[in-house]
C-alpha cells in the first residue's frame, strides 16, 4: 500500500472525483457464486417430494384457520362490546326524548288516535318511540331502560320492545316485552337471575306499576337455604316453574315459535284475562338463540307518579 492509497482511499490526482473531493478505490468484483443445478426451489437439486406438498397444504390450512379465527374474534367484539356502545347511545336519545315529553306534559300513551276509536281504548304508537321506563331492582340500582314500541331488530337496538298487539302497562291482560340478552344493549342479560316474588317496576307519565315474578315463593325461600350446588339450583328452577291457579309459571323455556306465551292469558289462547300480567322474553341460552326464556309477573300494585318520588321497591323510594 502506497501513501497515495491509505485506508482504501485514493489520494492521487487520478482517484479524485472532483477538485477537493475523495474517491473510493475500485476493488475488483468478487467471483460469481456457483449454484447447484437441479429443480428450482429444491435445495441441492433434490426434486420436491410428498412431504413438501403436505407441509405446504398444512401451512395453508393453518393460515386460513388463523384468518377465520381473527374474523370471528372481531365479530364477537362487535356483537358484545361495540354494539352495546351504539345501543347505549340510542337508548340515551330515546330516554331523553321521553323525559322531555313528560316535562312538557305530553304522554305518548295519550297520543293521536289514528284508528278513530273511543278515547282510552286504543293508542297508536310509532315503532321505536319510547313510552315508559322499566326498572328491575335485582339487576342493580342503576338499571333503567326506556321501553319502545315494536320488536323488530331496529326497535330492539333502542331498548326493550313492546309487542304491539299486547296490552299496555297496568291493563288487564298481558303487557309483553322483548329484549336482547347479549349485545345491542343486552337489557335482559340477567333475566335468569329473577326469582319468585322479585319486583319489576314500570313507569309511565302518570303511574308506577309494580309487578311481582310468579312462581312458588315459599318453595324458593326453602331452596335458598340448601347448600350451594346442583340440588339448590334445581330447587330454585322448580320453584320458578310452578304454575299458579291460572296455569301461568314464573319462568319457562320455549321454542322461538311459541307465541302463545304473550297471549292475554299466557299459554291459554282464547281465555278471557282477569288480571294484569307482564311478560319478558329473551334469547336462551346466552350467546345463542335456539330457544326463548320467558318470565311472567303479575301486577301487585299501582301508585300515581308524584314528581321525583319513587316507589318503595326502588332504592330511596317512599311511595
DSSP assignment of 52-117, as one string?
HHHHHHHHHHHHHHHHHHHHHHHHHHIIIIIHHHHHHHHHHHHHHHHHHHHHTT--GGG---TT-P
Three-state DSSP state, 5: helix
Highest mean pLDDT among 43-47, 115-119, 181-185, 297-301: 297-301
Of 79-88, 118-127, 192-201, the poorest mean pLDDT is in 118-127
Which pLDDT score, from 0 to 100, does residue 57 have? 76
The cell numbers describing 67, all together, are 384468518
| Cα–Cα distance measured from residue 219 to residue 236, given in angstroms and rounded to the nearest whole number | 8
Of 60-74, 141-155, 215-229, 293-307, the poorest mean pLDDT is in 60-74
Domain 76-304, CATH 2.115.10.20 — does that match?
no
| Cα–Cα distance measured from residue 212 to residue 197, given in angstroms and rounded to the nearest whole number | 5
User: Regarding predicted confidence, which is higher, 61 or 130?
Assistant: 130
Q: Which residue has the cell 331502560?
A: 145
| Cα–Cα distance measured from residue 245 to residue 227, given in angstroms and rounded to the nearest whole number | 30
113 pLDDT above the threshold of 60: no
Q: What is the pLDDT of residues 230-275, one digit of tens each?
A: 999 999 999 999 999 999 999 999 999 999 999 999 999 999 999 9
| Cα–Cα distance measured from residue 129 to residue 156, given in angstroms and rounded to the nearest whole number | 11
User: Regarding predicted confidence, which is higher, 202 or 307?
Assistant: 202
Whether omega for the bond prior to residue 285 falls within 30 degrees of 0, making it cis, is yes
Q: What angle do CA 93, 99, 104 make, to 5 degrees?
A: 125
User: Regarding predicted confidence, which is higher, 65 or 3?
Assistant: 65
The region, left, alpha or beta by phi > 0 then psi within -120 to 50, assigned to residue 38 is left
Q: What is the pLDDT of residues 139-167, one digit of tens each?
A: 999 999 999 999 999 999 999 999 999 99
Tell me the domain boundaries of the chain: 76-304
8 Å CB contact between 200 and 297: yes
Query: pLDDT band at 28, cuts 50/70/90?
Result: low
| Cα–Cα distance measured from residue 297 to residue 253, given in angstroms and rounded to the nearest whole number | 15
pTM above 0.85, yes or no: no
Average pLDDT of the chain to the nearest whole number: 83
User: How far is CA 168 from its chain centroid?
Assistant: 25
Provide CB contacts within 8 A for 109, sequence distance 6+: 123, 125, 131, 132, 168, 204, 205
Which pLDDT score, from 0 to 100, does residue 30 have? 61
| Cα–Cα distance measured from residue 137 to residue 147, given in angstroms and rounded to the nearest whole number | 16
Query: pLDDT band at 27, cuts 50/70/90?
Result: low
User: How far is CA 273 from its chain centroid?
Assistant: 33
| Cα–Cα distance measured from residue 23 to residue 10, given in angstroms and rounded to the nearest whole number | 6
- Nearest-Å Rg of the Cα atoms of the chain is 36
| Cα–Cα distance measured from residue 14 to residue 252, given in angstroms and rounded to the nearest whole number | 99
Provide CB contacts within 8 A for 178, sequence distance 6+: 151, 156, 160, 161, 163, 280, 281, 282
Which pLDDT score, from 0 to 100, does residue 104 have? 94
State the CB neighbour count (10 A cutoff) for residue 216. Answer: 20
Which pLDDT score, from 0 to 100, does residue 17 have? 38
The region, left, alpha or beta by phi > 0 then psi within -120 to 50, assigned to residue 218 is alpha
8 Å CB contact between 304 and 311: no
Which pLDDT score, from 0 to 100, does residue 154 have? 96
Which pLDDT score, from 0 to 100, does residue 63 have? 73
Which pLDDT score, from 0 to 100, does residue 13 have? 39
Amino acid at each position: 500500500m502506497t501513501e497515495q492509497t491509505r485506508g482504501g482511499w485514493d489520494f492521487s490526482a487520478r482517484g479524485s472525483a472532483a477538485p477537493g473531493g475523495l474517491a473510493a478505490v475500485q476493488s475488483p468484483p468478487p467471483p460469481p457464486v456457483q449454484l447447484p443445478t437441479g429443480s428450482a426451489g429444491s435445495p441441492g437439486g433434490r426434486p420436491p417430494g410428498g412431504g413438501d406438498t403436505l407441509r405446504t397444504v398444512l401451512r395453508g390450512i393453518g393460515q386460513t384457520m388463523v384468518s377465520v379465527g381473527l374474523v370471528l374474534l372481531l365479530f364477537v367484539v362487535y356483537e358484545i362490546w361495540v354494539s352495546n356502545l351504539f345501543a347505549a347511545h340510542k337508548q340515551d336519545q330515546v330516554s331523553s326524548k321521553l323525559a322531555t315529553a313528560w316535562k312538557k306534559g305530553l304522554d305518548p300513551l295519550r297520543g293521536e288516535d289514528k284508528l278513530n276509536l273511543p278515547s282510552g281504548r286504543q293508542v297508536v304508537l310509532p315503532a321505536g318511540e319510547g313510552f315508559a321506563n322499566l326498572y328491575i331492582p335485582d339487576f342493580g340500582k342503576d338499571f333503567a331502560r326506556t321501553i319502545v314500541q315494536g320488536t323488530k331488530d331496529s326497535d330492539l337496538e333502542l331498548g326493550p320492545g313492546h309487542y304491539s298487539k299486547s296490552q299496555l302497562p297496568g291493563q288487564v291482560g298481558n303487557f309483553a316485552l322483548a329484549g336482547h340478552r347479549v349485545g345491542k344493549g343486552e337489557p335482559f342479560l340477567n333475566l335468569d337471575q329473577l326469582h319468585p316474588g322479585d319486583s319489576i317496576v314500570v313507569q309511565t307519565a302518570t303511574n308506577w306499576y309494580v309487578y311481582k315474578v310468579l312462581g312458588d315463593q315459599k318453595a324458593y325461600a326453602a331452596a335458598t337455604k340448601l347448600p350451594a350446588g346442583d340440588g339448590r339450583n334445581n330447587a330454585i328452577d322448580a320453584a320458578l316453574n310452578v304454575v299458579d291457579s291460572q296455569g301461568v309459571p314464573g319462568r319457562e323455556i320455549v321454542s322461538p315459535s311459541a307465541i302463545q306465551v304473550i297471549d292475554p292469558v299466557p299459554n291459554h289462547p282464547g281465555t278471557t284475562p282477569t288480571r294484569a300480567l307482564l311478560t319478558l322474553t329473551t334469547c336462551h341460552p346466552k350467546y345463542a338463540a335456539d330457544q326463548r326464556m320467558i318470565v311472567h309477573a303479575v301486577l301487585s300494585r299501582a301508585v300515581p307518579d308524584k314528581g321525583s318520588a319513587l316507589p318503595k321497591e326502588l332504592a330511596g323510594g317512599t311511595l
